[in-house]
Structure 1
Amino acid sequence: MFSRNKDLSHMSSLSGLRSRFKHTMSSSAKIRSSEGCWTCRLRRKKCDEARPVCDGCAQLEITCYYSDVKPDWMDGGERQKEMADSLKKQVKIQANNRRERKYLQSLDVDPNHTPASDDPDHVIPPVPPLSLDGGSSKANDSNSPSTVNDTPGDTSSPAFHMGSVKSSLHDLAPAASPNQMRQLSPEWPSHSNHSSPPAAAPAPAPAPATLPASHPAVPISADHSNAPPFSDDSNLTFIMIYLDYVFPFLFPFYKPALLEGGRSWLLNVLNHNKALYHTALGLASHFFGVVLTGAQVEHAPCRMKSVASLQHQLDLALRELRADMASINEGGVDNQLRRGCRVLESIVQLLIFDVTIASNDHWQMHLDAATVVFQQILPQPDHWDATMDHMAIPLFSGVRFPPGSHTAWSSDQAALRFFTASLLYFDIISATALERPPTLQAYHYHLLSPRKDDCLELEPRLRLEEYFGCQSWVLQIIGEIAALDAWKKDARRAGSLSMTHLVSRAACLELALREGISCIDNQCPQLMGSDDLVAACSNACTGRPPPHPTHADTMRLPPDPLTLYQYSQTQDAVDAAHAHTKIWAYAALTYLSTVVSGWQPSCPETVTSVQATLDLLNTLRSPVCLRTVVWPFCVIGCLADPRQENMFRDMAARMGPLEVFGSLTGALGVMENVWARRDTIDESWDLAACFKILGHPVLLT
């Protein structure tokens, strides 16, 4: 697709590009000011020379070194390099601290505020930052950078403001005191055998939330203002709706084996994580209302109840999350691993909630917050095994199961695996819309790639196909394409774009996708002795070769009796996962084509990829399967021929009322807008622009 001959026209300009790049680098390397602070000089940044702290250092919250005498560490050698590394670390730590403070503020948890109390013994300690790295912090500055790159954060990713989460629902229950918050939380019925979902630790409760000033006042009758819309028995009914219908609809490929614990962890989490419990009730009531909308009988009162429940349960979920956040910030995530995991579960569940109800204004906030918490639970990718061992069933602590066998996961382990897989998935797909590399890309190789034991290939720690139907290697490559797109745009802005390097990296990724598709079709070039991919990627200087489908399946031990009993269903699931993976792979080829060649819907390679994906979409056994391939559906739809438009509309329509339960409606809205502008779009357009065409980035999962 991306032959070098195709880009010979660019070779003549390479020397000019190199010249401009060299000039840019040399000019940026100059010290901007002879009177500025030594911090800015070392970082090669312009200094406003304000004293005692310049504006640049103040915004980044790093040490501002001022002196008339040149510091000893400015020696042009090893000590200067060490100081530069130390400043980079400070920038990173303070950027994380700013993100965390913003998120705590959005949860109404002020890290420096101690409420007054009439009881001298009842003192609420200040909440320290979430960051495990520590570091001092100055006053909050909303204009401070939120990334480690010394530049203001991506403006497309808004700061954390939990109040904005509620703004999409317009009539949440009024804020309540901490005691009222607990009273409003429905408990499991006393006559059941279930234990009540425990309240969050009796840590100091944060200040109650208030609705934004822009919120319209919604009158709530006195008879119902302090009562949940559904009774306790009804809550149990909706929990079962969530377990039996909602969760399988959202994650149709997730069917863990009995010997792995099945889905029992989910009931355990619902029983112990009240924030997730309330979010699940809200999703169940929303799902119930959507189904009622498609029913032939009029159910207006029930629909009104379901809407009220959605709003009410979300408000309770946010209150529980605030309490959990306040609690873990007293001791830090490292001292409360399980509670930190609970907060991660709650935030990722809110992210799932955002996508499901098409709340496009808030998913970036929840994604960034979940990423911060995850990075504190797992500071380094290779900490995964130790973290999992810490949460293991005591009976199996330290036990190493044979390769290919089912591992008996504890509820905590299974929950962390599920929500980590979900977070990695959301992070990758969001990167294509936010024009940035996946934030957690450093974790991909350790968690998603097959492991090696001598000459034996072992299955990866996480297999995304078990959760979302698409094999991990394709999603990893999509993440690498997003990173390539971000690199290309950054290099173009800097005037240093090398088309040779761009094409080399793209050719490596293209070959990886095509070899992966062949592998799914049982014609794996690597098993046949081909080293084309290694050769192609060595030319691209990408470090390690791109991911490839795992061959560890051949090492799996015989299935358990239940799997044999359900052989036809199991085989259908395997075939469906292969079809879904190929759909994603062909869409990734289309995405890669636009990154390298620009917006060219009539390009033969693009036409071929679009048609191949469309053919596979037409083989899906159920219209509901479309919900699991929304991103590929939108990618090829945007580049489709005008004569194919109705085919996409018909596919979406076949989902019936459930079309609105998820991001499919948003994807169709993106496509319709792109089609309407087809005549005005030029080759500079790309898929990231498509994903923002509605005025905000969309998360198509």
Structure 2
Amino acid sequence: MTVAVNGYGLVIPTEQSNLIQHYLVNVLPIQYLLADPSIKDFMFNLIQNSTAARDAACMLSALHLHSMRHPYQPADSNTVNAIFGKIQNTLLVGNRRAYNEGDAMAGLHIVSSFLFSGGRGSWDVWLGIASQYVQSMLNDPSFYGPEEALRRCSESTRFIIKTTMWFDVLASVTTQQVPRFLETYRMLFTGAYIGEGPEISMLPVMGCENNIVLAIAEISNLAHWKASTLRRGCLSIPDLVRRGQAIEEQLLIPTSPLNAALPLQPGMYGPAALPSHMVLNGGSQGPDAEVVQRRRLTNNIFRASAKVYLHTVLSGDYPACPEIMNAVKETIDALREVPDAPTALHRSVVRSVVFGICISGCLTDDQRQRNFLLHMLERQQQESVGNISEVMRLMQQVWDRRDRERERGHCTPVDWREVMRESHHDLLLLV
């Protein structure tokens, strides 16, 4: 038997109706904080048309319900485990077919479930499912290349592709592997800013300009190259520095009008990125002005924290390194621009830039900066889901270890990834 979920006109199995309604009303708004409202439309369609996507949304909903009722207990409820087992059987056990759009969305939902539960676990397996689907779309012979694929595909497919790419880039920071789609990023994002059109821009989905997404991917690639050449005993420091400087100068220098101060003016970003309906009454802020401000804030934080990441690759994990100190300060200055009032704007920005807060926190010995970053995270702990607690724990472990070394008179770098691996076998996804 199937029933319609109240208010959404979705026909779904009766036993799943309550979970789906909870997902649509309570979970989706906190799952993708920077996405456009149109996400609801295609998410409804995927839930209706894909068993895997519907089951995964139900699991995420059950996990959220469990965390609200029992915030300090692991989510081992029968409902969550039963749905997870069903999805595993559908997508992992004996699967021989190519993954479709619904499967990819299910994979991303499961990645979200790990993020909701602290950010650790086998999220890479489920990201791999989405990645396989994305690869098939980017290699589809009916498209001339990745750019045309993004321009011509459906809105839901475009969202899946961009979200998978974003997870791929940020996952590479902790895995220290070359991003899976690095060559695609180079093709799509070299010189491509939001004026190129919303189909290609990562800004509407993840609050980060294309050049900065590419920069983080290139820094991970540089970190992998440095580690591999070190193992072989052939690292060239001049080559390392030259590559790093190229990333900073070509990708991390503000070049877009995104950083201009609000209020917004018509045509500021070009017609494709900022429709005239966003500015009303001769220049006053329209209903979407907060969305644009949110993306401006997150973008500035990502740019600054990418510099922290870059200079740790170039100089090592030394908080006293001048370039690292400057980049950490720039990140904190960007975080201070976020309105302090406990509003939806503050929450959505801070929860979207966990990567920047974590890497900057791990690379500062300034107690005032540490306290500021901890306070930013602590204010988000009122929610029962997310990886905030794990990030705070990781930062504290890094600080404790480095403080102990300094007390012994040693200036020893502390690799936060090693600390992460030592304290827990599973890697932390900083999304």
Instruction: Report if TM-score (shorter chain) is over 0.5.
Output: yes
Distance apart, 1:606 and its partner CA = 1.9
Aligned amino acid, residue 347 of structure 1: G
- Paired position in structure 1 for 2:166: 425
Summarize the Cα distance change of 1:573–1:359 in structure 2 as closer, same or farther, 3 Å threshold.
closer
Q: Does 1:310 align with 2:34?
A: no
Q: 3-state SS of the aligned residue for 1:195?
A: strand
Which whole-Å CA distance do the structure 2 matches of 1:493 and 1:363 have between them? 28
Provide, for residues 84-138 of structure 1, a one-character-per-residue CA deviation record: whole Å limited to 9, x for no partner.
xxxxxxxxxxxxxxxxxxxxxxxxxxxxxxxxxxxxxxxxxxxxxxxxxxxxxxx
Q: Which amino acid aligns with 2:325?
A: V
1:379 to 131, 135, 139: 139
Look up the SS of the partner of 1:581 in the other structure: helix
Other structure's SS at 2:183 match: helix
Percent identical residues: 20
String of CA shifts for 1:147-190, please: whole Å, max 9, x gaps.
xxxxxxxxxxxxxxxxxxxxxxxxxxxxxxxxxxxxxxxx5327
1:570 aligns with 2:307: no
What is the alpha-carbon distance in structure 2 between the residues aligned to residue 388 and residue 605 of structure 1? 37
Question: Structure 1 residues 191 and 477 mapped into 2: Cα distance closer, same or farther (>3 Å)?
Answer: closer
Deviations 1:219-239, CA, capped at 9 Å, x for gaps: xxxxxxxxxxxx63xx33332
Aligned residues: 407
Question: Helix, strand or coil for the counterpart of 2:296?
Answer: helix
Two-structure CA RMSD over aligned residues (Å): 3.5
- Residue number in structure 2 paired with 1:58: none
| Amino acid corresponding to residue 264 of structure 1 in structure 2 | D
Deviates more, 1:685-694 or 1:347-356: 685-694
Aligned-pair CA distance for 1:664: 1.8
Paired residues of 1:517 and 1:582 also in contact (CA < 8 A):
no
Alignment of 1:585-604 (within 5 A): 585-604=303-322
1:554 & 1:652 partners in 2: Cα distance? Answer: 35
Contact 2:116/2:385 (8 A) holds in 1: yes
Matched, 1:638 2:365: no
1:608 aligns with 2:424: no
Equivalent residues of 2:62, 2:79 under 8 A apart: yes
Cα deviation for residue 446 of structure 1 reads 3.6
Query: 1:383, CA displacement in angstroms?
Result: 3.6
Pick the structure with more helix per residue. 2
Q: Which has the higher contact order (CA 8 A, sep 6+)?
A: 2
Counterparts of 2:91 and 2:249, CA distance in 1: 45
Distance 1:599 1:496 in 2: 21
Alignment counterpart, residue 661 of structure 1, candidates 385, 398, 403:
385
> Which of 275, 285, 291 pairs up with 2:52?
275
Structure 1 residue 517 displacement after superposition: 6.8
Q: Which amino acid aligns with 1:255?
A: D
Shift of 1:577: 1.0
In 2, Cα distance between the equivalents of 1:277 and 1:557? 32
Q: Secondary structure of 2:177's partner?
A: coil
Alignment of 1:677 onto 2:368? no
Cα distance between partner residues in 2 of 1:359 and 1:597: 28
Matched residue, 1:694: 423
SS in 2 for 1:485: helix
Give the structure 1 partner of residue 41 of structure 2: 264
Whole-Å separation in 1 of the counterparts to 2:42 and 2:4: 22
CA contact (8 A) 1:595 1:686 kept: no
2:300 is matched with which residue: 563, 567, 582? 582
- One of 334, 343, 350 as aligned partner of 2:103: 343
Alignment partners' CA distance in 2, 1:581 and 1:629: 9
Greater shift after overlay, 513-522 or 275-284?
Answer: 513-522
1:275 to 1:642, Cα distance in 2 relative to 1, 3 A = same
- CA gap of 1:691–1:555, structure 2 versus 1, over 3 A, is farther
Matches within 5 A, 1:47-58: none
- Does 2:179 match 1:438? yes
Contact 1:459–1:553, Cα closer than 8 Å, also in 2? no
Q: 1:368 to 1:389 in 2, by over 3 A?
A: closer
Letter in 2 for 1:418: F
Aligned-partner SS, 1:656: coil
For the 8 Å contact 1:594–1:600, the answer to whether it is kept is yes
Following superposition, the deviation at residue 558 of structure 1 comes to 7.3
**Preserved contact between residue 134 and residue 160 of structure 2 (Cα < 8 Å):** no
Structure 1, 474-483 or 370-379: larger mean CA deviation? 370-379
Could you tell which deviates more after superposition, 628-637 or 554-563? 554-563
Give the equivalent residue in structure 2 for 1:182: none
Q: CA deviation at 1:503?
A: 0.9
Following superposition, the deviation at residue 255 of structure 1 comes to 1.1
Matching of residue 464 in structure 1 with residue 189 in structure 2: no
Distance 1:312 1:474, change over 3 A: same
Deviations 1:528-574 (A, max 9, x none): xxxxxxxxxxxxxxxxxxxxxxx993243873658759944412221
Per the TM alignment, residue 642 of structure 1 is displaced from its structure 2 partner at its CA by: 4.9
What does residue 91 of structure 2 align with?
Answer: 321
Q: Is the partner of 1:657 in helix, strand or coil?
A: coil
Residue 340 to residue 383, structure 1, CA distance change in 2 (3 Å): farther
Q: Distance in 1 between matches of 2:121 and 2:69?
A: 26
Q: CA deviation at 1:691?
A: 4.5
Does 2:34 match 1:253? yes
| 1:559-614 residue CA offsets vs partner (Å, 9 max, x unmatched) | 36587599444122212211111111111111111111112212233222212222
The alpha-carbon distance between structure 1 residues 304 and 367, as it changes in their structure 2 partners (threshold 3 A), is: closer
Q: Map residues 487-498 of structure 1 onto 2, 5 A cutoff.
A: 487-498=225-236
Distance in 1 separating the partners of 2:5 and 2:31: 31
Deviation at 1:437, TM superposition (A): 1.4
- Structure 2 Cα separation of the partners of residues 458 and 304 of structure 1: 44
- Alpha-carbon offset, residue 462 of structure 1: 2.8
CA distance in 1 between partners of 2:75 and 2:430 (Å): 29
Residues 351, 366 of structure 1: 8 Å contact kept: yes
| Structure-1 separation of matches of 2:75 and 2:218 | 45
Unaligned runs of 5+ in 1: 1-186, 198-230, 295-299, 334-338, 392-412, 524-550
Structure number with bigger Rg = 1
Deviates more, 1:582-591 or 1:440-449: 440-449
Q: Which amino acid aligns with 2:321?
A: C
The structure 1 residue matched to 2:270, chosen from 549, 554, 561, is 554
Q: CA deviation at 1:683?
A: 5.0
Matched, 1:241 2:34: no
CA spacing shift, 1:191–1:587, aligned 2, 3 Å: closer
TM-score by length of 1: 0.52
Q: Separation in 2 of the partners of 1:274 and 1:632?
A: 36
Judge conservation of contact 1:450–1:552 (CA < 8 Å) in 2.
Answer: no
- Aligned with 1:515: secondary structure? coil
Aligned equivalent of 2:11: 195
CA 1:419–1:694: 2 relative to 1, 3 Å: farther
Q: Counterpart of 2:353 in 1: which secondary structure?
A: helix
> 1:450 Cα shift?
5.6
The answer to whether the 8 A contact 1:432-1:482 is kept is yes
Structure 2 counterpart of 1:647: 372
Shift of 1:685: 4.1
- Structure 2-normalised TM-score? 0.82
Deviates more, 1:261-270 or 1:428-437: 261-270
Amino acid at match of 2:100: G
